Amino acid sequence: MILTTPSQRRELLEKVHTVAVVGASANPLRPSYTVFSYLRRQPRYDVTPINPTVDVIDGVRAFGSLEAYAKERGSPDVVDVFRKPSEVRRVVESAIAVGARAIWFQYGVINDDAIDLADGAGMTVVVDRCIKVEHARFTGGLSMGGLNSGVITSRRKAR
């Protein structure tokens, strides 16, 4: 099922405990690092980086693949994807193979074939949203910047 409403995404975030971040980076300037770092500081989540090129990110052991993660830790509740759209189908196939219940495609990670594959396999699917932004929005984390309106935009309201 493809989640399209804020309430559906909130419900998903309230249910999950384990998050595997595919493409998490050790570079603090990368969005995948920022999202990983933010999520791992949330008490409800057990967050693990999936990246074959690094061993550890911020003291957290990285796994080279979802299969390696699942072999040791079991299926993640959600797979958060930071990969090029052309590489996403393989991530979805791996997520299905390891029994992940949900897959979250970050901003700009849009591959219709992969989305259809995940949806057809019965996974919960979130497309073109940031898990960090959505979590912060639902928990009041954006209110400090005055953004907890439920709608994120850079346009001012007409007067």
**97: CATH:** 3.40.50.720
- Angle value at C-alpha 68, between 67 and 72, nearest 5 degrees: 110
For residues 51 and 159, what is the distance between their CA atoms, to the nearest angstrom? Answer: 48
pLDDT of residue 139: 82
The answer to whether position 39 is within a domain reads yes
The long-range contacts involving 9-12, CB below 8 angstroms and separated by at least 24 positions, are 9/126, 9/129, 9/134, 9/138, 10/134, 10/138, 12/78, 12/102, 12/124, 12/126
The answer to whether position 140 is within a domain reads yes
pLDDT of residue 148: 46
pLDDT of residue 138: 87
Contact 82, 32 (CB under 8 A): yes
Domain total of the chain: 1
pLDDT of residue 119: 98
Q: Residue 114: what are its φ and ψ, rounded to 5°?
A: -70, -40
Domain, as residue range, for 46 = 6-145
Task: With a cut of 90, say whether residue 137 has pLDDT above it.
Answer: no
pLDDT in tens, 60-117: 999 999 999 999 999 999 999 999 999 999 999 999 999 999 999 999 999 999 999 9
Model confidence at 146, pLDDT cuts 50, 70, 90, reads: very low
**pLDDT-above-90 percentage for the chain:** 85
The answer to whether position 125 is within a domain reads yes
Question: For the CA atoms of the chain, what is the radius of gyration?
Answer: 15
The answer to whether position 153 is within a domain reads no
Mean pLDDT of the residues in the chain:
91
The answer to whether position 154 is within a domain reads no
**pLDDT-above-70 percentage for the chain:** 88
